[in-house]
Amino acid sequence: MNGNNISGFGKLSLGLGFTFLYAPILILIIYSFNASKLVSVWAGFSLHWYGELFRDDAVISSFGLSLKIALFSSAMSVVLGTIAGLVLARFGPFKGKSLFAGMITAPMVMPEVIVGLSMLLLFVQMQQWLGFPAERGVLTIWIGHVTLCMAYVTVVIRSRLVEMDRSVEEAAMDLGARPLKIFFLITLPIIAPAIASGFLLAFTLSLDDLVITAFLSGPGSTTLPQLIFSRVRLGLNPEINALATITVLAVATLVIVANRVMVKAEQRRARLAAAG
């Protein structure tokens, strides 16, 4: 349409939209440096609540647990999600494919209370029949997170595989390369950026999950979102502001850096394609 510029109406809607999206987060960050114990009364700049936060053993240990679970969950969901994406994009029609594709879509939109409760009931039955898993805890949370996160990873990988130019793969096939070799030497490097963003997405989803975790956790396995939730339920708490600020800044930095790297990689590929 109108070349390089955003219209007045466009500027207005973006301005209002981004104010709505970012004002609450900015206010939260500003008030994390508040000296007062009352969250809404400004009493001067202070790092007091950050100090409190780092001395809070419950926060530190639940954060450690959350990181551990997020790391293992995202690793597993990347493996399962890449396979599932490949199956859906490349294996052609097979019996039960639409059920499979349906089981990928459903966990992403299904209310989390439903997913959490149903998984819990499965584990309870399994324990009665098989004696495994012996108790709710890290293992059951991990299974829950993997099931949720692999769906997201699959969607990312699948759409990359569908968009991707297949000529190199076809050339390799014509030259007699075996499917497994083609996958590891050609397909995998091409979809590597999608795998990386799938991993990042899975990691942040797992790190943030509250509802599924609440159903699947046992005594002694309190994750960071569970701890935040139990404190926030009692009302505003300046220590949580400090914690929230750190999370927001860490995630924002990670996402912006990853986005930069991926855009650069994309540009390089486009240049190479144009040159070749």
Partner 1 sequence: MPRGRSLVTAIPYGWLLLFFLVPFLFVLQISFSEVEIASPPYRALIERTEDVLNIALNIGNYSYIFSDPLYFDAYLNSLYMALVTTLTCLVVGYPIAYTIARAPEAKRNTLLMLVMLPFWTSFLVRVYAWMGILDNEGLLNKALMALGLIDAPLQLMHTQLSVQIVMVYAYLPFMILPLFSNLVKLDGRLLEAAADLGCKPWKTFLKVTLPLSKNGVIAGSMLVFIPAVGEFVIPELVGTPESLMIGKVLWMEFFDNNNWPMAASVTIVMLALLILPIIYLHKREEKALARAAQR
- Chain positions 131 to 190 lying near partner 1, rule: CB under 8 A, are 143-144, 146-147, 150, 154, 158-159, 162-163, 179-180
**Which token pair is 41?**
């009364």
Smallest separation, CB 162 to partner 1 (Å): 5
210 is a site residue for partner 1 (CB under 8 A): yes
For partner 1, the closer of residues 14 and 188 by Cβ is: 14
How many helices and strands, by DSSP H and E, does the chain display? 12, 0
Tell me which of 35, 36, 56, 100 binds partner 1, using CB under 8 A. Answer: 100
Residues 8-47 that bind partner 1 (CB under 8 A): 9-11, 13-14, 17-18, 20-22, 24-25, 27-28, 31, 38-41
- Residue 125 is a binding residue for partner 1 (CB under 8 A): yes
Answer yes or no whether residue 64 interacts with partner 1 by CB under 8 A. Answer: no
Candidates 47-55, 103-111, 169-177, 186-194 — which segment interacts with partner 1 by CB under 8 A? 103-111
Query: What does the alpha-carbon distance between residue 48 and residue 32 come to, in Å, rounded to a whole number?
Result: 9
255 touches partner 1 by CB under 8 A: yes
Residue nearer to partner 1 on the CB measure, 9 or 167 = 9
Question: Minimal distance in Å, beta carbon 235 to partner 1?
Answer: 8
Dist CA 108 CA 209 (whole Å):
13
- As beta bridge partners, residue 142 has none
Task: Verify binding: residue 63, partner 1, rule CB under 8 A.
Answer: no
Q: How many CB atoms lie within 10 A of CB 147?
A: 18
Residue 46 region, left (φ>0) first, then alpha (ψ -120 to 50), else beta? beta
- Please answer whether residues 212 and 145 qualify as being in contact, where contact means their C-beta atoms are separated by less than 8 angstroms: yes
Size of the site for partner 1 (CB under 8 A): 96
Q: Which of 43, 54, 61, 98 binds partner 1 (CB under 8 A)?
A: 98
66-85: contacts with partner 1 (CB under 8 A): 80-81, 83-84
Single residue of 44, 128, 219, 272 touching partner 1 by CB under 8 A: 128
User: CA–CA separation, 256 vs 251, rounded Å?
Assistant: 8
* Pairwise CA distance, residues 118 & 125, whole Å: 11
CA separation for the pair 262, 192 (Å, rounded): 10
Among 134, 261, 263, 265, binds partner 1 (CB under 8 A): 263
Render the burial of 159-168: b for 16+ CB within 10 Å, e for the rest.
Answer: ebbeeeeeee
Q: CA-CA distance, 265 to 156, in Å (whole number)?
A: 17
Minimum Å gap between C-beta 114 and partner 1 is 5
